[in-house]
Amino acid sequence: MTEPRKTVRLKPKAEARAIRHGFPWVYADELVTDRRTQALEPGALCVLEDGERRPLGLVTVNTKSKIIARVLDRDPEAVIDQAWFEARLARALDMRARLFDQPFYRLVHAEADGLPGVVIDRFGDAAVIQPNAAWAETHVEALAAALRAVTGVSTVIKNGTGRSRALEGLAEETVVMAGGVDAPIPVLMNGATYMADLMGGQKTGLFYDQRPNHAFAARLAQGAAVLDVFTHVGGFALAALAGGAASALAVDASASALGLAAEGAKAGGVAERFSTRQGDAFEVLEALGTEGARFYLVICDPPAFAPSKPALEAGLRAYERIARLAAPLVAPGGYLVLCSCSHAADLSSFRNACGRGIGRGGRRGQLIHTGFAGPDHPLLPQLAESGYLKSLVFRLD
């Protein structure tokens, strides 16, 4: 006989309505954390009840995390096995297969795809799983088996690195779970070729989220000189060259990332118009200003300067500084693209910081476009954090 599931309960003043309406998280101060709850293993599956002991659904609990419970299923009796994962993955795959001609995309975008804390990026016959929550780490074998069954990929890599895992109390490790790769994988996007290092690259090896913003910027780059700061493996620069840019200078602190960007430029047949400059982005921007360099299109796509609320003010100052240093490098009538992937910085705050920076840089501009992540990074309406990416395009006078 199956032992009944353990239960956890919201505090009387906690808002159960939000959970019923689709909010996927319970914070530590909203849950009754008695000794029985504190004794639960990280990632334990429990039935969540409201203050009147009415079931709300099946959750995973980690008392070491500020997000103490994550909703897995509205059915409190749901069985989390390979078949359950297959159903979630099949639903996610159906949308991506309709949107993309080639199997290069984000297959699972965490809570928005019904798999809290799980990211899966697909690279043709290979896929990279990031199990960023304790429950996902516990069930990663079933998840990987379901991934192979649904998509047919032969290589599955677990990338267990990053800030999110540390917040869940998880160790860092990268493991080949099936198959293997012995070289970077070429990925075609927006006419450009990117080289994705699935084993040693940043995150899963490539950032798919900027795909539509790369395409928009490339339309502005025809015949122009382009500066791409925080380029990673070529980012905006390679898309701009594929779109007809006269030249592109790619800046990054990582020599290995710039090496992959150069490989992508060669593979895409644009190497003669592509150059790189390694160094701290702020220092390079200052140096370019001193040198009197000018570009028709300047893009700055930094890492998250405000990954959490305590870092928000410092992060906004950093975004303002980037805008201040970048604006003078834009030729009159040219364009400045400023991006943020910070969860804590909402669109309004980021836009205001950019506007202040452009003004402090001695320029004025029109905001002509606001971009977000592509449709393979769906937004869960109840969870603002799932819509993290912002891309602002200014025309400067």
The residue-averaged pLDDT of 136-159 equals 97
Q: Rounded to an integer, what distance in angstroms lies between the CA atom of residue 160 and that of residue 130?
A: 6
* pLDDT score recorded for residue 15: 80
Residues pairing with 55 in the sheet: 49
Judge whether residue 1 has pLDDT over 80: no
Q: Is 173 helix (H, G, I), strand (E, B) or coil?
A: strand
* pLDDT score recorded for residue 237: 98
CATH of 82-178, one of 3.40.50.620, 3.30.750.80, 3.30.1380.10, 3.40.50.300: 3.30.750.80
Segment 66-109, tens digit of pLDDT: 999 999 999 999 999 999 999 999 999 999 999 999 999 999 99
Q: Rounded to an integer, what distance in angstroms lies between the CA atom of residue 143 and that of residue 129?
A: 9
HSE, CB side, 13 Å, CA atoms: give it for residue 115: 31
Residues pairing with 228 in the sheet: 250, 299
Strands, sheet with 390-396, edge to edge from the N-terminal-most edge strand: 274-278, 247-252, 225-229, 295-300, 330-340, 390-396, 365-371
pLDDT band for 251, please (50, 70, 90 cuts): very high
Segment 23-43, tens digit of pLDDT: 999 999 999 999 999 999 999
Segment 209-225, tens digit of pLDDT: 999 999 999 999 999 99
CATH number of 7-73: 2.30.130.10
Segment 322-359, tens digit of pLDDT: 999 999 999 999 999 999 999 899 999 999 999 999 99
The residue-averaged pLDDT of 239-247 equals 98
Tokens (6 digits) for 287: 């140096």
HSE, CB side, 13 Å, CA atoms: give it for residue 200: 10
339 is catalytic: no
Q: Domain locations in the chain?
A: 7-73, 82-178, 186-396
Segment 49-69, tens digit of pLDDT: 998 899 999 999 999 899 999
**What are the E-state strand segments in the chain?**
7-9, 25-27, 44-49, 55-61, 67-73, 104-109, 118-123, 126-131, 155-160, 173-178, 185-189, 192-196, 225-229, 247-252, 274-278, 295-300, 330-340, 365-371, 390-396
Segment 266-304, tens digit of pLDDT: 999 999 999 999 999 999 999 999 999 999 999 999 999
Specify the CATH class of 186-396 in words. Answer: alpha beta
Tokens (6 digits) for 358: 């452009």
pLDDT band for 2, please (50, 70, 90 cuts): low
Which residue out of 300, 339, 341, 354 is catalytically annotated?
Answer: 341
Q: For the chain, what's the residue count?
A: 397
Q: What is the value of pTM for the model shown?
A: 0.94
Ramachandran bin of 55, using left for φ above 0, alpha for ψ from -120 to 50, beta for the remaining angles? beta
Q: Rounded to an integer, what distance in angstroms lies between the CA atom of residue 249 and that of residue 276?
A: 5
Segment 106-134, tens digit of pLDDT: 999 999 999 999 999 999 999 999 999 99
